[in-house]
Structure 1
């Protein structure tokens, strides 16, 4: 069937034509204005429904619609009331617009455009504000989420999940334009992106204002990630914003609100002595979607493969004397050891052997049960528990998961990692925030390893205790905190505080805030003096972010511990949401066009706008780490489908097929064309690959019927099949994999191969009377310093462990000179730390 024009998955025309996004960044706060343009080219009135992602901590604060010359501004109302008004408007033939947040996850929104007459156009304007997260390299990260992956509904959980019409990300049938304006008290040094940008344009000589745009031709088929860098980024700041003139004094919107951005600095003596103890519990997502590539690019590493490499690096970097365990989960969960074990060569080898065999083969994303099991284990005395969660975040019971971590926050710190595009920002940020840890996102071509190692360094920093915030303000000014208490402080990381200031003060007045805490048994404090004079032209941004912070805190206060909000808390949230005009899970934006008295005639047709998704077949179909990927084109409507085959100890293999009119696969058999290709390549490559392709069906997962499975397989033909092998393993990871738990390396052919030498060259240049392991370890350190300084953050901790081991062996200095000669380097002894 030939299909023309913009179509949904049901082959219906798409009424959403374009999205225009304007981003304004002021220091570390972003205001985002999105304009969505709709057009009904059908002969019947339409209801267009669009489910899309937003940043999990965004405060949606404006929603309006433009039809012809008429503009309708939406108001925030209690959700049930807003739904009733919307339904009443549609049933009476009026145009109506509804915007609501998912009750399960605050990073999913549904926009309904009701009763769009034939031939009519409408544009919808959506505005939100959000804080920008600080990255390891001091960049501020903004992400415009394009991709919405299917969220897994846990078995037996109540509540209907949001229904999403999805298409492969490359087939998004609407365009995106995206422009950015940046202003800051400090110069803007650069702006980087995962997408192509036009050159940065400075608007003044001080370079404190700049603009940038997405390059022409961008397809909205992946998240748009921006990294903004300022000079002197770690300066603490305070912004006081005047209240709304029309709001009642004493109310949140009527009083001034202050936003403090603090960067506590730790003494160098504390930072130079990282902890050598702790219980490290690593929790790895092995749901089917972890078998997807890290990004939409060709031949990129799968999420599970990247996670395996990262776990290996993390395990090698753990200090001797700590304890550890590894859990993995999908529809069920597993753990390597019955309880956390002491870190040793034996336990490390056992763990690595299990990790290397892990595949994305455990079905759904049931993260609650493994978390409960971890929390049920008694903590080990004098070994602070550090939980590392690796997931692509495709769960729909986000709030329930975060609430469980919050309930157990006194017993551990939680560090979270969102893997791949479409990971739930609400889940990843919420786990870290409530668990007193740090959140990281790994998207596009990002390497997971440096980000995970930064978090490991944070976990080895001494825990900051007894945190208190003291305010020093004029007597007539009182303060009401809008932010929850600070639970975690890390070196160089920002802490944000929002507070409402009541009472009058002169513009010349000053305030001071002091953050006190105990660090490694020593009292410490950081002070920030600030003027109470309100900043000009802030557009109530600080008030909206403060309201959002308070709403989020209230929503987390559960009445029954089972994820249901107390009625009193719900009333408070609704009141605050309506007063501030900021979205919540209990309210919705509603706009009704009452200006047109002519009811719209004809039956209303619903059209679900397809949302970008990394893969078009749900994760339940991804039975194991997909060794084989098919890009299958059916006429002019491409789709993506996944199939999985048993491949023994092989690197991942990608097979690209075009739909042909030739043979069908036999039931339960291997595709004939692919089988021929495997056999042909297998004869040439089997010895070097150590692999064989097994001609049998992959196991089906729940939710995938036999007929669906078979029809997907049989739709593939044998024309134009190609086989390509993924690139060999990174030499750095090869070297890391050879290190022992104690920190040393052994002198063997594998090490020589990584160093680019033969075993004879390595052994013959060893200085006399020098221990072989000492020689091997010094060579490994010289290689790291000589050839891998650009990845120092990845190997720094395991190198420190190696240096400690060498010091205990009294390694002679002549080894460094001989090592430099062999490897052609010039690394100084003190640079190695010897």
Structure 2
């Protein structure tokens, strides 16, 4: 009988071999190098195999994996995945210690780490290193995210349900320490986080170097998100990194590599106007998990409520004469209009009425079917299609979804939004990248509205077309672009280009790159001069990011052509991965300690590191006994559907491997039971709704409707044309009486003009901090006012200021 001597325990009373995780992040300008050290210890009486499945940023380039056992350091090599697995199995069978790190076959943002044949009492320190680019946010912050949460992947195809080894986040039996060092040519103004951090410590007088640490007592209930702000806005830049001295000249690692960060500037007259045409299609996730809380505070509402408010703002911000439709999906999908409808007061009111009734009640996260339906609808002439996708979920068919968007990229732009901790970066970023749009993540206590409205502004800008990149280099020097072609450019957003520089020149030490494109029919270009002299002490960060970009591009190009059958393309990816030491979908890191052990008799004991269970769902949940195997949620209606995570491989008979996910590994189960609180996407079907939940055989009363935010209350009263009407609801939204509004109305002013001026003055004077949210609908209101040729606007503005206690100038209203 197997027993545990001591140590941390899982709900199944098995020891947890992972003791601690230490993460150190080194940020240089907009690139981060992340080093994670994981300490394992076997406190049992028999050898074990520890399996740790964890999330990873989808754009990360994993470039180092090593293990230290006692005084022995074993550095892993990158090898073809099948060969690496065989070497791992062979090593364990012969009693040697082995360490395997591999990317999921289904999604590039999940990795599996196997620590094999750890003898009783033995410890192993695992070092994992990756480099990644940091995204630019709407407020110009750079975002770094350490994914601590990996949601279960919903499998739309026939699949076996699974049991999840999980514990509440407060009981995760391993520690996390997290520290960041920031260095930039520009001063660091501040560092913010979704988690509690110690105060920022500046390391030099000009504040270009700083460090910050995660406060003690962090719980594994959210991603660790950092927002880094520099004092100056982002400027175009270029870094040339010298090649590796030991690598073959002419190879990617042997030649210098250039990284260009471009921030295109568009003409101001184009940026100050927005398009009045377009077909805007909104695709909203209504799976059960959308009832989970947006943030971590007691005042944070459910994601579906925030999504409803966001759709209100979006609908009010659309221009008259455009077309729109709203789809929602779960296990099934619904649409408001049979086909996209012209935007006017009638269709807007009909859509808002249906949006108000939307709840997180459609079951799972099956996004492929509604996407196929949307793409089957013919495009409307002279109305460019703009697709907005909102989801908190993760799917098992990520690559298939992204390929569908890519195959339709010529007919639309796709803007994607990942809601809540654990949203798949591979899915969200992949949709936007292949759809020529922009990706946003809404986590912690972020407001969804300003980020979504920023993307709407991008969508309403004219599409940048005919993008080309030309080089002016010294004679004898040539550039080979390693990045995929630029397909989208947005004002204020960074575009990255990697290029391999071949050859040398003694004549010139500078080069120039020019990005040309057409915007609103106007030829435009941006130039950047750069030095060809390699940067000092740059290491190989740029080379690894370039290799990762090229590998991902090759994988994506071959995906639609069934690259698994294209041996030449597969070999090219494997060769590039091995040469650069960067992981790919066809390779894995393998390390074997050849000085260890005797052949093992019988199977190793498998120990899955437990998953921190998300506890943020707002819906009532059954009582649970956390000390036992948790089997509290039965998804009776969805027996053919279930949670699974990308399969890593079928393992040898001594320790069978199943689909794996989160920080846990999942083992196949015969029934539809899902352990832990991970069945939200499946349980919310026809047996449940968002107002009544079954608990102990009785039904809970509906929750009272929360009071709407005053800003959204005012916005809800705006008409499709852009004006407001003088009505009691407007007086209430402005915290006044109808008598107040009528008494202060200038005699020569029309009632709708007066009502609209009141709303605009209130927004500018009392809600200036939310300008990012209301700017587009205010522009529409100003356009409506100008169309009225109304008299007495100055008097209306003065009267509104007096009534509301503001001091807004007429010019500020765009009149």
State TM-score, norm by structure 1. 0.87
* Equivalent position SS for 1:394: coil
1:746 is the counterpart of 2:737: no
What are the within-5 Å matches in structure 2 for residues 552-631 of structure 1?
552-558=552-558, 561=561, 564=564, 566-599=566-599, 603-615=603-615, 628-630=619-621
More moved, 296-305 vs 251-260:
296-305
| CA distance, structure 1, for counterparts of residue 220 and residue 56 of structure 2 | 14
Residues 39-68 of structure 1 show CA distances to partners (whole Å, capped at 9, x for unaligned) of 111112111111110101000000001111
| CA distance, structure 2, for counterparts of residue 705 and residue 521 of structure 1 | 51
Q: CA deviation at 1:368?
A: 1.2
Q: Is the 8 A contact 1:478 1:502 kept in 2?
A: yes
Q: In the alignment, what sits opposite 2:781?
A: 802
Structure 1, gaps ≥5 residues long? 617-625, 645-697, 707-711
| CA distance, structure 1, for counterparts of residue 713 and residue 685 of structure 2 | 38
| CA distance, structure 2, for counterparts of residue 791 and residue 738 of structure 1 | 17
Q: In the alignment, what sits opposite 2:225?
A: 225
| CA distance, structure 1, for counterparts of residue 252 and residue 70 of structure 2 | 36
The match for 1:819 among 792, 800, 804 is 800
| CA distance, structure 2, for counterparts of residue 46 and residue 387 of structure 1 | 49
Q: Is the 8 A contact 2:474 2:508 kept in 1?
A: no
Q: CA deviation at 1:233?
A: 2.9
Q: In the alignment, what sits opposite 2:129?
A: 127
Count of matched residue pairs: 762
Q: Is the 8 A contact 1:45 1:602 kept in 2?
A: no
| CA distance, structure 2, for counterparts of residue 641 and residue 806 of structure 1 | 58
More moved, 120-129 vs 763-772:
763-772
Q: Is the 8 A contact 1:22 1:34 kept in 2?
A: yes
What are the within-5 Å matches in structure 2 for residues 91-240 of structure 1?
91-156=93-158, 165-240=165-240
More moved, 601-610 vs 384-393:
601-610
Q: In the alignment, what sits opposite 1:420?
A: 420
Give the 3 Å change call, closer, same or farther, for CA 533–165 of structure 1 in structure 2: farther
The match for 1:733 among 693, 704, 712 is 712
What are the within-5 Å matches in structure 2 for residues 469-484 of structure 1?
469-484=469-484
Give the 3 Å change call, closer, same or farther, for CA 332–4 of structure 1 in structure 2: farther
Q: In the alignment, what sits opposite 1:446?
A: 446
Q: CA deviation at 1:504?
A: 2.5
Q: In the alignment, what sits opposite 1:57?
A: 59
Give the 3 Å change call, closer, same or farther, for CA 392–545 of structure 1 in structure 2: same
Q: In the alignment, what sits opposite 2:387?
A: 387
Q: Is the 8 A contact 2:7 2:43 kept in 1?
A: no
Residues 504-537 of structure 1 show CA distances to partners (whole Å, capped at 9, x for unaligned) of 2459611110101111111111111111111111
Q: CA deviation at 1:725?
A: 6.0
Residues 748-776 of structure 1 show CA distances to partners (whole Å, capped at 9, x for unaligned) of 22211111112222222222243222221
More moved, 628-637 vs 529-538:
628-637
| CA distance, structure 1, for counterparts of residue 695 and residue 319 of structure 2 | 52
Q: In the alignment, what sits opposite 2:660?
A: none
1:832 is the counterpart of 2:813: yes
* Equivalent position SS for 2:111: strand
The match for 2:749 among 762, 770, 776 is 770
What are the within-5 Å matches in structure 2 for residues 628-643 of structure 1?
628-630=619-621, 632=623, 634=625
Q: CA deviation at 1:133?
A: 0.3
What are the within-5 Å matches in structure 2 for residues 514-533 of structure 1?
514-533=514-533
1:241 is the counterpart of 2:235: no
* Equivalent position SS for 1:50: strand
Q: Is the 8 A contact 2:154 2:396 kept in 1?
A: yes
Q: Is the 8 A contact 1:294 1:444 kept in 2?
A: yes
Q: Is the 8 A contact 2:302 2:618 kept in 1?
A: no
Residues 334-356 of structure 1 show CA distances to partners (whole Å, capped at 9, x for unaligned) of 11111111100011011111111
| CA distance, structure 2, for counterparts of residue 527 and residue 241 of structure 1 | 21
Q: In the alignment, what sits opposite 1:622?
A: none
Q: In the alignment, what sits opposite 2:257?
A: 257
Q: In the alignment, what sits opposite 1:787?
A: 766
Q: Is the 8 A contact 2:49 2:115 kept in 1?
A: yes
| CA distance, structure 1, for counterparts of residue 388 and residue 741 of structure 2 | 38
| CA distance, structure 2, for counterparts of residue 833 and residue 294 of structure 1 | 34
Q: Is the 8 A contact 2:293 2:618 kept in 1?
A: no
Q: In the alignment, what sits opposite 1:355?
A: 355
| CA distance, structure 1, for counterparts of residue 307 and residue 21 of structure 2 | 34
Q: Is the 8 A contact 2:555 2:563 kept in 1?
A: no
Q: CA deviation at 1:703?
A: 11
| CA distance, structure 1, for counterparts of residue 489 and residue 681 of structure 2 | 46
| CA distance, structure 2, for counterparts of residue 604 and residue 307 of structure 1 | 48
Q: CA deviation at 1:567?
A: 2.6
Give the 3 Å change call, closer, same or farther, for CA 473–165 of structure 1 in structure 2: farther
1:756 is the counterpart of 2:735: yes
Give the 3 Å change call, closer, same or farther, for CA 725–180 of structure 1 in structure 2: farther
Q: In the alignment, what sits opposite 1:368?
A: 368
* Equivalent position SS for 2:621: strand
More moved, 566-575 vs 521-530:
566-575
Structure 2, gaps ≥5 residues long? 636-678, 688-692
Q: CA deviation at 1:728?
A: 2.3
| CA distance, structure 2, for counterparts of residue 378 and residue 585 of structure 1 | 35
| CA distance, structure 1, for counterparts of residue 701 and residue 309 of structure 2 | 27
Q: In the alignment, what sits opposite 1:27?
A: 29
What are the within-5 Å matches in structure 2 for residues 486-501 of structure 1?
486-501=486-501
Give the 3 Å change call, closer, same or farther, for CA 727–169 of structure 1 in structure 2: farther
* Equivalent position SS for 1:152: strand
Residues 413-460 of structure 1 show CA distances to partners (whole Å, capped at 9, x for unaligned) of 110000000000011111111111110000000000000000001111
| CA distance, structure 2, for counterparts of residue 803 and residue 77 of structure 1 | 62
Q: Is the 8 A contact 1:279 1:385 kept in 2?
A: yes
| CA distance, structure 2, for counterparts of residue 803 and residue 79 of structure 1 | 60
Q: CA deviation at 1:726?
A: 7.5
The match for 2:77 among 75, 81, 87 is 75
Q: Is the 8 A contact 1:96 1:115 kept in 2?
A: yes
| CA distance, structure 1, for counterparts of residue 628 and residue 24 of structure 2 | 31
| CA distance, structure 1, for counterparts of residue 7 and residue 620 of structure 2 | 28
* C-alpha RMSD of matched pairs (Å): 2.8
Q: CA deviation at 1:715?
A: 7.0
Give the 3 Å change call, closer, same or farther, for CA 641–360 of structure 1 in structure 2: farther
Q: Is the 8 A contact 2:12 2:628 kept in 1?
A: no
* Equivalent position SS for 1:634: coil
Q: Is the 8 A contact 2:26 2:34 kept in 1?
A: yes
| CA distance, structure 1, for counterparts of residue 113 and residue 12 of structure 2 | 19
The match for 2:87 among 85, 102, 105 is 85
| CA distance, structure 2, for counterparts of residue 751 and residue 705 of structure 1 | 38
Q: In the alignment, what sits opposite 1:293?
A: 293
Q: CA deviation at 1:299?
A: 4.7
| CA distance, structure 1, for counterparts of residue 474 and residue 626 of structure 2 | 72
| CA distance, structure 2, for counterparts of residue 783 and residue 641 of structure 1 | 50
Give the 3 Å change call, closer, same or farther, for CA 421–748 of structure 1 in structure 2: same
Q: Is the 8 A contact 2:95 2:597 kept in 1?
A: no
More moved, 228-237 vs 134-143:
228-237
State TM-score, norm by structure 2. 0.89
| CA distance, structure 1, for counterparts of residue 347 and residue 340 of structure 2 | 10
Give the 3 Å change call, closer, same or farther, for CA 507–737 of structure 1 in structure 2: farther
| Bigger relative contact order, structure 1 or 2 (CA pairs below 8 A, ≥6 apart) | 2
| CA distance, structure 1, for counterparts of residue 126 and residue 573 of structure 2 | 26
